Amino acid sequence: MIRLAAPDISEQDIERCAAVLRSGMLVQGPNVAALEDAIAGFAGFGTCAAVSSGTAALHTALMALGIGPGDAVLVPAFTFPATANVVEALGARTVLCDVDPGTYVLTPEGMAAALQGHREDAVRAVIAVDEFGYPAPMTAIAALARGRGMAVIEDACCALGSMHEGVHVGAHADAACFSFHPRKAVTTGEGGCVLVRDPELVERVRRLRNHGIEARDGLADFTAAGLNYRLTDFQAALALGQIERFGPAVARRRDLAARYAYLLAGTPGLALPEPDDGHSWQSYMVVLDDGLDRLAVIEELRAAGIEANLGAQALHELGYFAAKYGHEADAFPNASRLYRSGLVLPLHTGLRDDEVLHVAATLKSLIENG
């Protein structure tokens, strides 16, 4: 089976992890600190706070920025539900907006349209998602947001290694959140981090991830209603080697995406994702024509030894958000189409060129032969 995704874990990575397990010092420790330094060094800016998941990163970032009951947060309608779940968990209100049909990300135009009818101070923050690694246009998004006094959070959970206007994603946000889930290009099993420029903000995140503890006069004081979102030291050890070789890994992903684009170009019934030089290609999602049965395509690909799946969700079509906010089914047409017709193809650093050729040829044959 040609797998949809596969972690890039070497024997040396496993040995680093095993060494921590043998030491008995399993909780947050020197390997977590080393991973935080490695992520900040790779990105080239800010200070990093490692946490237990990408969702925990989003949650603590919003908490540290003071988002809570009575606030509203702008969220793309096409994303994994965690992006909005953390807003709801804090008692805030999710304001959805549509995305670009070719890049799958929030645009300033979509953001402006969603903000119409809201008071200047009603929407406190925006969470822009770098869907599948495509860098959202953060310069323009941040300018629009800050013009209204909004905080800017970048959900870069899929986008480690992505670049926007010559800098790593997250550089234009108040807080950038990353995930180390096994589907991501760097994995700790479960894990994530928050990357920020403001030293005071990152300290708030670090307190919140550790029960709200702050050292005072040699004692631990609980200065916030925090959580236990610590990353274990053996998880961090697993990722250190992956970061060390991550530059070539991103280059390989870009090469694989270019091969897909070349092999699938001009296929009737298939829309390809728009390219971007800064895209890190955590996933490669194509969009089928409405007349094609995606489930049948997935099943036929599986029969040919190829794993494929849907991309992300249209939040307004999911049970919780539909029941709470009552959006019309066609309220966000681009998000709906991407949700119903998006198809993610295998992409990972272990994927061979001949396997890309087999995936592309099989998909083209299925589409062209109906």
Q: What is the pLDDT of residues 229-264, one digit of tens each?
A: 999 999 999 999 999 999 999 999 999 999 999 999
The angle that helices 108-115 and 138-147 make with each other, rounded to 10 degrees, is 30
Split into its structural domains, the chain has a count of 2
**Residue 235 sits in a domain of what CATH number?**
3.40.640.10
- The string of pLDDT tens digits covering residues 125-167 is 999 999 999 999 999 999 999 999 999 999 999 999 999 999 9
What CA–CA distance (Å, rounded) separates 153 from 205?
13
Q: Where a domain ends, among 190, 225, 244?
A: 244
* pLDDT reading at 370 higher than 90: no
Which domain does 55 fall in, by range?
11-244
Same domain, 236 and 257: no
Amino acid found at 229: Y
* Catalytic residue status for 324: no
| Structural tokens at position 248 | 């070539």
Q: 114 with 201, same domain?
A: yes
pLDDT at 121 over 90: no
Distance CA 113, CA 144 (A): 12
User: So what's the pLDDT on residue 369?
Assistant: 83
Residue 273 shares a structural domain with residue 293 = yes
Q: In the chain, which residue ranges form alpha helices assigned H by DSSP? A: 11-23, 30-43, 54-64, 82-89, 108-115, 138-147, 199-209, 233-244, 246-264, 294-303, 319-325, 333-341, 353-368
Answer whether residue 133 is part of any domain. yes
Label residue 329 by pLDDT band (50, 70, 90).
confident
Q: What is the pLDDT of residue 40?
A: 98
Residue 291 and residue 148 share a domain? no
Sheet (strand 284-288) strand order: 270-271, 284-288, 342-345
Q: Single out the residue in 244, 264, 287 at which a domain terminates.
A: 244
Catalytic residue among 172, 184, 207, 209: 184
Residues 282-310 have a mean pLDDT of 97
Beta strand 219-222 with 270-271: parallel, antiparallel or unpaired?
unpaired
Question: Model pTM?
Answer: 0.97
273-297 mean pLDDT = 97
Residues 6+ apart with CB under 8 A from 147: none
Tell me what the mean pLDDT of segment 60-79 comes to.
Answer: 98
Cβ distance 180 to 156 under 8 Å? Answer: no
- Residue 60's pLDDT band (cuts 50, 70, 90): very high
Q: pLDDT tens for residues 163-182? A: 999 999 999 999 999 999 99
Note whether 42 and 161 are same-domain residues: yes
Judge if 233 and 256 occupy the same domain: no
Q: Is it the case that residue 348 has pLDDT exceeding 80?
A: yes
The pLDDT of residue 120 is: 73
Answer yes or no: is 3 within a domain. Answer: no
104 lies in some domain: yes
Q: What is the mean pLDDT of the chain?
A: 97
- The amino acid at residue 6 is A
* 176 within a domain of the structure (yes/no): yes
pLDDT, residue 117, reads 81
Final residue in a domain of this structure, among 191, 221, 244 = 244
Domain assignment present for residue 237? The answer is: yes
Say whether both 250 and 240 belong to one domain: no
pLDDT at 93: 97
Q: Is residue 6 part of a domain?
A: no
| Predicted confidence (pLDDT) at residue 10 exceeds the cutoff of 90 | yes
State the CATH number of the domain containing residue 299: 3.90.1150.10
pLDDT class of 63 with cuts at 50, 70, 90: very high
